[in-house]
Amino acid sequence: MNGLTRPVSGHLRRRKLMDRTMTAVAYLCAALAIIPLTWIVVYVLIQGLGAWNVRFFTQLPTTFEAGGVRSGIFGTLEVVGLSILIGVPMGVMAGIFLAEYGSNVLGAIIRFTADTMSGVPSIVVGLFVYGLIVLNTGGAYSAVAGAFALAILMIPVITRTTEEIIRLVPASIREASLALGVPRWKTILRVVVPTALSGIVTGIFLAVARVAGETAPLIMTIFGTTAPISKNIFDGPTTTLSLLIYQLGGASFPEVVKVAWGGALLLILVIFGLSILARVLFGGGGTKF
Amino acid sequence: MDSEKTSNSRTGERHEGSSGPVVSRKHPQGEPVMEVEDLNMYYGSFKALSDVSIEIARNRVTALIGPSGCGKSTFIRSLNRMHEIVPGARVEGMVTLDGEDIYARDVDPVRVRRRVGMVFQKPNPFPTMSIYDNVIAGLKLGRRRKKSELDGIVEHTLKQAALWDEVRNKLKDSGTSLSGGQQQRLCIARTLAMEPEVILMDEPASALDPVSTQKIEDTMDQLKENYTVVIVTHNMQQAARISDYTGFFFIEEMGAPGRLWEFDETEKMFSNPDRKETEDYVTGRFG
Ligand SMILES: Nc1ncnc2c1ncn2[C@@H]1O[C@H](COP(=O)(O)OP(=O)(O)OP(=O)(O)O)[C@@H](O)[C@H]1O
Ligand SMILES: [Mg+2]
């Protein structure tokens, strides 16, 4: 008598039925979760593609007739670019610090701060930068103020991903370098960080993708304008795709709302593009050790 | 059975296990390159090594053997201060290199490691670097050198490590594209490029197949002419084949610190050691 080949009993049949039911439920839930995302993408695609034409990419926006989003494209590049300049070095260095020298009280404080910061609503960050920079420069909205707000949102994300990736670098590689008589700091810069680089860059891409669509903190820092964007990054309102979607999407003329849909499509594509690029270029965040 | 008898007949002239700290110790001939005096090592409050005194003979191979967990790796790391990477690890006692105390207050561990290199159990080439860059990694991180000079060093050290013929046509390939045995020889070449006086090897062949092991042993035979080698091994034949001196580390009971139980010329250690535990170990009766 062999327990494994026992004839199918009622008990076993019930168990098999339960198993099939649970599998079906799991598939159903997964499908339900995908529906909203697909719906949004398809809807934006349908609404937005119709707005794409030469005028859309080359004209300035207006709120009373069909215009373009040229200023939003440049403004997004400008503000996000500046925020990368501010946020990436700080985030990466903080992450390196936490991974390499962070096993003390100071490290614990920074880690806790970063985790808390990533939970702060972005509007609060906008208010903070408004008080800190805009009010202190005589009420001047500027690209730099917006970049600061985005950098603050970006830094904790980059810090924690950098720390985690650097911790994944095997101790054996560090040891190899130290045993060659390479000082600790050079080991970190020339061996550890390059080994973790693809993972760090993936983290940066994802952080940038996350802030590229931010709107609330930018209202309070770059203001958003349909006029040409300021040539001075330290002074004068500018705009971004996200702000134009907000402004044009609420307009009362259907042809203006259509431009907002076009902008939404462009923004989604940029963000998806960054996320996909990060995964394709660096193999799903994997780091080649 | 037979060896048991021989062992018993000689017990009279031996120190027994219970005699603890009384350790057979022989001074190698000539001026030693490194001297260790009454070394104790701790991991936090755990004492891992007790009262180790040994001399490392210049241009000779010294093998360290002993059962698992008796502190061989711990000891070998004390010779170039690599244990300092482990938080809480510390050393008491004296270790000198050419008469200089390597633990003196003003000595930089980085300088010690330049002169006392280390090869690890698991091959650990730098994954982001080519074969060529791996060999010169330590040099590149130091002062600037001319390309032609580096080319010469790469060829010379890869030849010393018996790897040149296998990689001469693919020096730009990644170091991790090599087989395990080739990677380990690359790691040896990388260490040789720094021209250390002493090379420490912690079970360098234990993760490798017999052919690669043979190549690494051949390499070591050549290295002897210019370098001092200290090698930890679990392979008795390897220790007997390649070393001039052998140190046997032993731990009396669980939780007790490891000790250098016996140290002598390899020939003597494997044919007629002074202590019973040594004989039991080298003949494979325990461990
Ligand atoms: N990083 C560490 N932290 C705490 N204890 C350690 C550490 N490394 C080793 N030890 C302890 O020190 C003792 C000696 O270990 P060591 O690795 O030196 O032994 P070994 O002789 O090299 O053994 P093996 O032959 O298995 O490599 C062991 O009891 C071990 O548990
Ligand atoms: Mg060991």
Q: Tell whether the model's pLDDT for residue B39 goes beyond 90.
A: yes
Helix (H, G, I), strand (E, B) or coil at B201: strand
Q: Tell whether the model's pLDDT for residue B17 goes beyond 60.
A: no
Q: Under an 8 A CB cutoff, do B194 and A170 touch?
A: no
Among candidate residues B123, B86, B87, the one with its CA nearest the CA of residue B209? B123
Q: What is the pLDDT of residue B14?
A: 43
Q: Is the dihedral of CA B98, B101, B106, B109 positive or negative?
A: positive
Q: Under an 8 A CB cutoff, do B120 and A179 touch?
A: yes
Q: Which residues of B touch A172 (CB under 8 A)?
A: 120, 122, 124
* Mean pLDDT rounded to a whole number for chain A: 91
Distance between CA atoms of A139 and A149, rounded to whole angstroms?
16
**What mean pLDDT comes out for the span A107-133?**
95
Beta strands at B89-97 and B100-101: parallel, antiparallel or unpaired: antiparallel
The domains of chain B, with CATH numbers, are 20-123+197-282 (3.40.50.300)
Q: Are A216 and A245 spatial neighbours (Cβ–Cβ below 8 Å)?
A: no
Question: How does residue A6 score in pLDDT terms, banded at 50, 70 and 90?
Answer: low
Q: Are B58 and B96 spatial neighbours (Cβ–Cβ below 8 Å)?
A: no
- List the beta bridge partners of residue B40: B92
Alpha helices in B93-245, H assignment, sequence order: 109-115, 131-135, 137-140, 147-160, 164-167, 180-192, 210-223, 236-242
Q: How many CA atoms lie within 13 A of B19 on its CB side?
A: 12
Q: Is the dihedral of CA A193, A196, A197, A200 positive or negative?
A: negative
Classify residue A253 by its DSSP letter: S
- Work out the minimum CA distance from A197 to partner chain B, whole angstroms: 10
Q: Tell whether the model's pLDDT for residue B286 goes beyond 80.
A: no
pLDDT digits over B117-146, tens only? 999 999 999 999 999 999 999 988 667 788
The boundaries of the domain holding residue A221 are: 54-285
Q: Tell whether the model's pLDDT for residue B19 goes beyond 50.
A: no
Q: What is the pTM of this model?
A: 0.81
Q: Are A157 and B110 spatial neighbours (Cβ–Cβ below 8 Å)?
A: no
Residue A62 falls inside a structural domain: yes
Residue A48 falls inside a structural domain: no
Total domains in chain A come to: 1
Inter-CA distances, B102 with B30, B82, B97, Å: 21, 12, 7
The CATH number of residue A230's host domain is 1.10.3720.10
SS (H, E, C) B147-169: HHHHHHHHHHHHHHCCCHHHHCC
| Joined tokens for residue B130 | 């080519």
Predicted-complex ipTM score: 0.86
Residue A178 falls inside a structural domain: yes
Among candidate residues B114, B22, B84, B98, the one with its CA nearest the CA of residue B55? B98
pLDDT digits over B57-102, tens only? 999 999 999 999 999 999 999 999 999 999 999 999 999 999 999 9
Q: Is B120 in the pocket of ligand 1 (CB under 6 A)?
A: no
- Work out the minimum CA distance from B262 to partner chain A, whole angstroms: 28
pLDDT digits over A36-84, tens only? 989 999 999 999 999 999 999 999 999 888 899 999 999 999 999 999 9
Residue A227 falls inside a structural domain: yes
Q: Tell whether the model's pLDDT for residue A158 goes beyond 60.
A: yes
Distance between CA atoms of A246 and A219, rounded to whole angstroms?
10
For A195, name the nearest residue in chain B, comparing CA atoms only: B128
Pocket residue to mutate for ligand 1, from B40, B70, B252, B254, most atoms within 8 A of Cβ: B70
Q: Are A126 and A149 spatial neighbours (Cβ–Cβ below 8 Å)?
A: yes
Q: What is the pLDDT of residue A131?
A: 95
